[in-house]
């Protein structure tokens, strides 16, 4: 897609709430990941680093 078609696609995705729903799903997934990390038999430093990486991926703005 280019130009007007791309802009229209972005507009339609915004209008249907896609970004909001995607962010909500990302939050659900990161919560599940944190719960899994809490149960994992690994040391705290790697656990914390993985949790921070997951948080960064979900919360970054592009």
pTM here is: 0.70
Backbone dihedral angles phi then psi of residue 41, each to the nearest 5 degrees: -80, 65
Per residue in 2-43, pLDDT (tens digit) is: 788 999 998 999 899 998 999 999 999 999 999 999 999 999
Q: Which residues contact 9 (CB under 8 A, 6 or more apart)?
A: 1
Q: Report d(CA 6, CA 55) in Å as an integer.
A: 29
Q: Where are the domains of the chain?
A: 22-62
What's the confidence (pLDDT) of residue 1? 65
Q: Is 47 exposed, middle or buried (0-12, 13-18, 19+ CB in 10 A)?
A: middle
CB 55 within 8 A of CB 29: no
């Amino acid at each position: 897609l280019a130009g007007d078609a791309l802009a229209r696609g972005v507009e339609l995705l915004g209008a249907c709430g896609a970004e909001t729903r995607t962010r909500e799903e990302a939050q659900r997934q990161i919560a599940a990941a944190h719960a899994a990390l809490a149960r994992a038999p690994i040391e705290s430093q790697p656990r914390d680093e993985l949790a921070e990486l997951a948080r960064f991926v979900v919360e970054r703005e592009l």
